[in-house]
Structure 1
Amino acid sequence: MQKSDSPVNSVKQAITQGQFAQAIELANVAISGNSLAEQEHRDILYLQCVAHRQHQQPERAIAVAQTLLARNPDHARVYQEMGYAQQALGQKQLAASAFYQATLRNPSLVGSWRALSTLYPALGNPSAAEYAQQQVAYLSALPREILGARDLMHEGDLKLADQVCRQFLQRHKHHVEGMLLLAEIGIKLKLYTEAEFLLESSMELYPDHRATGIEYLKLLAKMGKFQKAHDCAQTLLAATPNSPTLLVAKASAMVGLGELDGAVETYRHVLQHNERQPNVYLLLGHALKARGDFDDAIAAYQRAYAIKPDLGDAYWSLANTKTYQFTEAERAKLLTLSESAETEIDDKIHMHFALGKAFEDSQLFEQSFTHYAQGNQLKQSQLQYDPRFIEEQVTAQMTAMTAEVFEHHNSAGHPAQDPIFIVGLPRAGSTLLEQILASHSMVDGTMELHNILALVSRLRGQKVAYPALLKSLDPDYLARFGQQYLDETKVYRSGAPLFIDKMPNNFVHIGLIKLILPNAKIIDARRDPMACCFSGFKQLFGEGQEFTYSLTNIGRYYRAYTRLMAHWDNVLPGAVLRVQHEDVIDDLEGQVKRILAYCNLPFEPQCLSFHQTRRVIKTPSSEQVRQPIYRSGLKQWENFSQYLDELTDVLSSG
């Protein structure tokens, strides 16, 4: 909260009273004093921009807006002010672009949509004008509190948005827009289970509310509940069978279920009706890549950036095949786009990671690290990751999950031996171990399953904190959780006695796994710390793994991980098989036999020729594990060693 006599409130009060010249002067004085906090500085600049526009000084308003956007490129209301100023100057195209940027960042800005609805017809874009008019009508019809809470959510004030929305729902129970908004806020807060309940309830009450259906589909995909997402999409398609949005959602769910042929066919069907859909080409490329059709995947990614040249994800998707070599022309185009003020931040992030890979392939390591660092810095600026979170989680697990707890629950849990969990850090060789095991006739490969994390999310919502509550849980609950896990994962299996659950982050929850499935096998994929951490730093993940975008954070995470794994070794001796990636490279046959023996599986020679196994692989290593073992990746980090002092210091301090 701003103090009543703060510079921000003084400027705001002057604007409210129509004293725009005084507001501008007060803002200048406040800025020249150099005593403002960063947020105050931003607020003052924004108000100064408003004052200049209201004082009929659009050029100065634009200059202030540009200064502020250089500091905070995602400030939606600044784009809106710039749009108004450019509109006053008769610069219709520039004004439309500014208002459009405002709506991208905050879709609740009715003023921007209203301005676009009048600008687009004059610019010869009637379809965009019609969409803008629809948005004006939709937002104008919302209850005032919901519109205000939506605005707060998009401006990043999730706590206040949640409070306003809940107060509204107390007075208007089961209001569809209120339930939808509360679910969206929950998703942003990563309260997925609560959001799922809200959306599922809303779907039952309002089955024809399209926005709720779309949000529900997106959440189910995020949670890895692909069968549920597929069924929901199918139901919604009954009413609108040709909806591209629903068809794409259905295809994406099919990818999650491993039904790649059907997914590829559906994506291509959507593209037949409208080829100029770069994001659908991206999804098509991902499905083709997962199927192992790399030439077709590359063509799809190239088609995506041909339609939208500044689509950073298309370039990163090419780089993320790990085998694609950018041409000189592509690299030059990427450099130009990554430096352009017109390129969106998310696109720049993808481009910097792609350029890092491109320069690394050319052995230009200084340029490569510069781009990796820029991409990570931009990505980190979008996150609110606190490295203390994982450290506190580890401490909580070590405190609660003692040897006595496992002794107390010795006979609890479900006795099934079906799952083989592969845990560790991303980029530690887990996909290679998964591919080796999935080559065995008695093992089904699946994908990164979210079921354990979903159970953890539910347990965290209880009165007693997770994991402390596990000690006092009724043994029947543990067995039921184990059965529920087996039931929910059945859809990903193909009939083999055993199956793989490869979710690296599950290392935190090994205690829970052993309580609900005491006979499950757990493999810890371990890799040299410098190689593992730097490989994570070079990787732009689709979602999660927020600790990887800083050398310090990833080093602290690695230290927390090894600390917790040592704890599991102590309280669950022999329960976890540690497999060192470098040992697999040096002695493939010996390590394969060791892994199979641990899993009580007979040796099968096809596990040594794992690269010939055809299956769905959705991780960044998908192309690498379709090749025989090679050693070239073991020491790649050494090419960058002179830039990694920060990481070295963190790892050595543990």
Structure 2
Amino acid sequence: MSQGNDPAGLDRLRRRAHALLQEQRLPEAQAVLEEVLRHAPNDLATSIDLADTRFRRGQLQASTLPLLQAMRQLPRDVPLLISLVQHLIARGEVLAARSCLDLLALAPAPPPELWVAQASLRFALGEIPEAKALMDKAVAAGANSPGDLHLRAMLLQFSGDIDGACAVLETCLQRWPHFGDAAMVLVNLRKQTPHANRLDSLREQLRKLPEEAATPDQAFVRAEFEYALFKTLDDLGRHEEAWDALARCNALMSRLNPYDATAEEEVANALVDMPHVPVDARGRPEGPTPIFIVGMPRSGTTLLDRILSSHSQVTSAGEIIDFWRQLHWVADVVPARSQGLRRVIARSAGIDYQALGARYLRQTQWRARGRAYYIDKLPANIQMVAFIRRALPHAPILHMVRDPMDTCFSNFKAMFGNVSSYSYELGALAHYYGQYARLASHWHASLPSAMLDVPYAELVRAPETTVERVLAHCGLELEDACLAPERNAAPVATPSSAQVRESIHTRGVGQWRHYARQLAPLQEALDALQPAAALAAV
């Protein structure tokens, strides 16, 4: 009997593969794992190990194959299935991931942690109602950790149940007063008033936290409480004190997440210098049509999403990164932040854009849920405009444009966590905005009809005229519901989900002026970006 057909021999091969992986001998490990699967094709653990090994070797497409082959006969091993779903999502295989989740949903009397795991994965896919229902079951079954309750509060918030979210977060802070995540989200859910605020408790927690954090986790928690203090003081109109708290918060976050200006500029340079590929004037694909909303973060993209998804023929898919994932897959480039994108750009002339468009549509059209259009709202897709135009020439791209100071200040005061490193320091913020503005100007010059600018100020001051123009660009007629987005009951997964359930208003215009003195360096830096910044703000 050969080693491959002998159970004991297979175990020896698996141990050999793991030893090789520990020694970083990836090609040899890959060969052994492939040998195991030739004799045990239903070994899901080995399929996942092989996928990881190929991924680490830069073989993105090849890393997907053992995962999809494993779908033919899935085991009833819940932890392995959870791992499989995570791996499938990371490779853009959303349909297969949802199929696994449907199987997991059949598990009889699962423990609370299984409900939580499923809820987290449904949330990662943007399925808010499904994730909320799963978290409700998890809590009923005994899920009770800070992370569990925080996830439940977010899902309540995104579903529009602000009172329910507040109640959960208040419970969290009663039990865990040092829980910065809960404090930060809670103050964002409602405007703080002189008669209803947590100012004293926030200051008390800050007094208990070490001023010089010994670990990154301690620094992060302190930054969260400083942010909550800023938001409260800002709501109360105590702007001098508020700025001091925000400055302390962002100084901590900037140290934790230094901005890489060189990497950002290299990506913009590569996109601007990308060779021209003609847009294929092929026929319109069957099925629902995506509408892309791009721009700077905090430029009003969520408001535009809520307005358009109030239309009877449009739904929102939320902030999904599906196009970015499918682009990397078709280019066969392992995602690796800016380095990965630069490799994709280097291969751009050889990409099969028809295949890219077809793959994106296949993995996302379910999100339309029976409607003719679905919105892919991801501000960072401003980097993807040329790729989208080539892969999906029928898909409208809407570019949200807001006053540079309003946009940048809104980013500076947002507290994105350990992402968006540009947002925590004024010089970095101006530099990042400059790269965005330069890129937007380049798309307008090189692809004149690729995207429609939607000025935020016009949207909030003359909504009917602006919305009608935007809908016409998408091939739709104006409906009254689009002018009352506050009635849109659909979930919305964004930190500003409470604010976007309000009616259209102009309060977001000129908010930075409360801090004009402190923001003078930012204004000077933005002024120095002209004419690029001016072109992006038309």
Q: Determine if the TM-score, normalized by the shorter chain, exceeds 0.5.
A: yes
Structure 2 letter corresponding to 1:550: E
Instruction: Determine if the alignment matches structure 1 residue 520 to structure 2 residue 395.
Output: yes
Q: What CA deviation, in whole Å up to 9, does each residue of 1:469-528 have, x standing for no partner?
A: 33344xxx3222212211211221121212211111111111111111112111101111
Cα distance in 1, alignment partners of residues 453 and 383 from structure 2: 15
Instruction: Give 1:445 deviation, angstroms.
Output: 1.8
Cα distance in 2, alignment partners of residues 553 and 399 from structure 1: 23
Cα distance in 1, alignment partners of residues 476 and 62 from structure 2: 40
Instruction: Say which is worse superposed, 204-213 or 225-234, in terms of deviation.
Output: 204-213
Count residues with an aligned counterpart.
Answer: 493
Asked if the contact 1:180/1:212 (under 8 Å) is kept, the reply is no
Instruction: Give 1:269 deviation, angstroms.
Output: 2.3
Instruction: Give 1:329 deviation, angstroms.
Output: 3.5
Asked if the contact 2:59/2:333 (under 8 Å) is kept, the reply is no
Structure 2 letter corresponding to 1:305: L
* Gap change, CA 1:178 and 1:336, over 3 Å in 2: farther
Match of 2:345 in 1: 467
* Gap change, CA 1:401 and 1:498, over 3 Å in 2: farther
SS in 1 for 2:273: helix
Cα distance in 1, alignment partners of residues 188 and 18 from structure 2: 40
Match of 2:222 in 1: 348
Asked if the contact 1:385/1:546 (under 8 Å) is kept, the reply is yes
Cα distance in 1, alignment partners of residues 60 and 407 from structure 2: 29
Instruction: Determine if the alignment matches structure 1 residue 331 to structure 2 residue 202.
Output: yes
Asked if the contact 1:514/1:520 (under 8 Å) is kept, the reply is yes
Q: Identify unmatched segments of 5+ residues in structure 1.
A: 1-141, 150-160
Match of 2:265 in 1: 391
Q: What CA deviation, in whole Å up to 9, does each residue of 1:414-435 have, x standing for no partner?
A: 5568121100011000011111
Cα distance in 2, alignment partners of residues 365 and 312 from structure 1: 22
- Of 279, 300, 307, 2:147 maps to 279
Match of 2:117 in 1: 249
Asked if the contact 2:295/2:401 (under 8 Å) is kept, the reply is yes
* Gap change, CA 1:221 and 1:650, over 3 Å in 2: farther
Q: Looking at CA atoms only, which structure, 1 or 2, has the larger radius of gyration?
A: 1
* Gap change, CA 1:195 and 1:293, over 3 Å in 2: farther
- Of 478, 484, 494, 2:353 maps to 478
- Of 130, 134, 141, 1:266 maps to 134
- Of 250, 255, 271, 1:376 maps to 250
- Of 369, 378, 386, 1:494 maps to 369
Instruction: Determine if the alignment matches structure 1 residue 411 to structure 2 residue 271.
Output: no
Cα distance in 2, alignment partners of residues 224 and 646 from structure 1: 41
Q: Normalising by the residue count of structure 2, what TM-score does the alignment of the two structures yield?
A: 0.80
Cα distance in 1, alignment partners of residues 477 and 74 from structure 2: 53
* Gap change, CA 1:239 and 1:267, over 3 Å in 2: closer
Cα distance in 2, alignment partners of residues 557 and 575 from structure 1: 22
Match of 2:40 in 1: none
Structure 2 letter corresponding to 1:605: D
SS in 2 for 1:320: helix
Q: What CA deviation, in whole Å up to 9, does each residue of 1:581-638 have, x standing for no partner?
A: 1111221111111111211211212111121111110112212221112222212212
Instruction: Give 1:147 deviation, angstroms.
Output: 9.7
Match of 1:533 in 2: 408
Instruction: Determine if the alignment matches structure 1 residue 426 to structure 2 residue 297.
Output: yes
Cα distance in 2, alignment partners of residues 193 and 304 from structure 1: 43
Q: Which structure has the higher relative contact order (CA within 8 Å, separation 6+)?
A: 2
Cα distance in 2, alignment partners of residues 548 and 617 from structure 1: 23
Instruction: Say which is worse superposed, 274-283 or 509-518, in terms of deviation.
Output: 274-283
- Of 424, 446, 455, 1:571 maps to 446
Asked if the contact 2:401/2:454 (under 8 Å) is kept, the reply is yes
Match of 2:315 in 1: 444
SS in 2 for 1:245: helix
Q: What CA deviation, in whole Å up to 9, does each residue of 1:388-424 have, x standing for no partner?
A: 222222221221243xx22xx4335855681211000
- Of 497, 501, 505, 1:630 maps to 505
SS in 2 for 1:467: helix
Instruction: Give 1:332 deviation, angstroms.
Output: 2.7
Instruction: Give 1:532 deviation, angstroms.
Output: 0.7
SS in 2 for 1:466: helix
The aligned runs of 1:585-624 (5 Å cut-off) are 585-624=460-499
Q: Identify unmatched segments of 5+ residues in structure 2.
A: 1-13, 37-44, 335-341, 530-538
Q: What CA deviation, in whole Å up to 9, does each residue of 1:258-311 have, x standing for no partner?
A: 654443332232223326322111111111111111100111122222232222
Q: Normalising by the residue count of structure 1, what TM-score does the alignment of the two structures yield?
A: 0.67
RMSD: 3.7
* Gap change, CA 1:294 and 1:185, over 3 Å in 2: farther
Match of 2:33 in 1: 173
Cα distance in 1, alignment partners of residues 70 and 246 from structure 2: 43
Asked if the contact 2:18/2:29 (under 8 Å) is kept, the reply is no
Cα distance in 2, alignment partners of residues 228 and 518 from structure 1: 27
Instruction: Give 1:551 deviation, angstroms.
Output: 2.0
Match of 1:400 in 2: 274
* Gap change, CA 1:399 and 1:415, over 3 Å in 2: farther
Instruction: Say which is worse superposed, 273-282 or 260-269, in terms of deviation.
Output: 260-269
Cα distance in 1, alignment partners of residues 281 and 487 from structure 2: 41
